[in-house]
Amino acid sequence: MHALNKSRPLRRIVLASAATVSGAVLLLALKPHTAPPLVTAGTESPAASSGAAPGRTGQNRTATGDSVRTRWGPVRVRVTVRDGRLTDVTAVAYPTDNPRDQEINGYALPQLRREALAAQSARIDSVSGATYTSEGYRQSLQSALDSAGL
């Protein structure tokens, strides 16, 4: 005889209820992804810049972009500009809450940095597998470039 025999409806009800309860318990046991704490390097404000005025040459200026909230946590970028050219881009805040975040950002951030330096703008491609980080990086980069006068 089959376990769900039609002549035994109570057995089917008990098995269906047990399966439903088991599924609900498994769903509730999953930990939701929590937003990581904001990781920053330094205390510079988003619009702050240091160094020379926009018209002067030979000195580095830095500007930090807005902190952009993404699904997995904030992303914030700092740029260094010399003689009107982007010379460095550093991610000062990004998701690091779990090993998967660290893995994704370990390969995505260097690639985004290279693309930004090559493009000299925020018009960069997203990194496959790091869509949210890429979008936050792009938005913060544009904010930093605007603050730096580029």
Domain chopping of the chain, boundaries? 1-30, 49-148
Does residue 73 have a pLDDT over 60? yes
**What digits encode the pLDDT tens for the residues 111-133?**
999 999 999 988 998 898 889 99
Average pLDDT, rounded, for the chain: 80
Residues 95, 73 contacting (CB under 8 angstroms) = yes
Closest alpha carbon to 78 in 67, 91, 69, 68: 91
Mean pLDDT of 69-90: 91
Residues 141, 133 contacting (CB under 8 angstroms) = no
Does residue 51 have a pLDDT over 50? no
The token pair at 62 is 């830095």
Q: What pLDDT was estimated at residue 76?
A: 94
CATH topology of domain 49-148: Sufe protein. Chain: A (3.90.1010)
d(CA 2, CA 85): 75
Mean pLDDT of 43-62: 54
Phi, psi of 143 (to 5 degrees): -60, -45
